[in-house]
Amino acid sequence: MIHSLLTKLDTYFNFSNVEAHCDIPCKIYDPMKAQLAALSVIRFLDLIEELNQQETSLAQQAQLIRLINEKEQHAEQVKHEVRVIWGDYFKQAQIAQFPDIHTTVHNIMLSASACKQHTSRQNGETLLQQVNDFAATFWQTKQVNTYIATCPYPPSEKVVYPDLK
């Protein structure tokens, strides 16, 4: 019955591709994917700067193109992950508790765009700080304590983690 209904809807609307976090809602959200993507942006910016300090061969130019592509994809992933949590998880109760959440999210979007447009490490650090602030807010809405620790891999930046003990 459901398959038949979906087939009819697909025929009528001609869906080409459908993606979602889940939109059930499953109530499973975690800002860690956005934090990891922001850390990756910083790492790619560091690697780009290392290449910039060298004479560039054709192979290094190809590597530069790959690094820039990955940096931009990870900045876009930050935007996606934050948008999903903001749009699907944050409801009126959380917004009343944290009325600045819209501004926080908007600033993350702007910073992620700046990371896509430029190669300044400072942009990446700003993005990570904003995503960490977003993560801290998210965990506060769930009444989960957080702590800050330096991640154990490059770029060795500080990250907000939930204290799940």
Domain count, the chain: 1
Query: What is the per-residue pLDDT for 123?
Result: 98
The pTM (predicted TM-score) of the whole model is: 0.85
**Quick one: pLDDT at residue 56?**
82
pLDDT (tens digit per residue) in 22-75: 656 677 899 999 999 999 999 999 999 999 999 889 999 999 999 999 999 999
- Asked whether residue 24 is assigned to any structural domain, the reply reads no
Residue 141 located in a structural domain:
yes
The predicted model gives 148-163 an average pLDDT of 98
Residue 97 lies in a domain: yes
Cα–Cα distance for residue pair 21/4, rounded to 1 Å = 24
Query: Is 20 inside any structural domain?
Result: no
Q: Identify whether the C-beta of residue 132 lies closer than 8 Å to the C-beta of residue 107.
A: no
When pLDDT is averaged across residues 140-158 and rounded to a whole number, the result is: 98
| CATH classification at residue 129 | 1.20.120.400
The mean pLDDT of 5-30, rounded to a whole number, is 64
CA 116 distance to own-chain centroid: 13
**3-class DSSP state of 159:** strand
**What does each C-alpha distance from 116 to 60, 109, 124 come to in angstroms?**
20, 11, 10
Domain-embedded: residue 110: yes
Q: Is residue 8 part of a domain?
A: no
What is the per-residue pLDDT for 49?
Answer: 97
**97: domain range?**
29-162
Q: Examine residue 9 and state whether it is found in any structural domain, yes or no.
A: no
Consecutive H or E run containing 131: helix 121-141
Domain assignment present for residue 5? The answer is no
Residues 82-86 have a mean pLDDT of 97
Assign 3 a pLDDT band (cuts: 50, 70, 90).
low
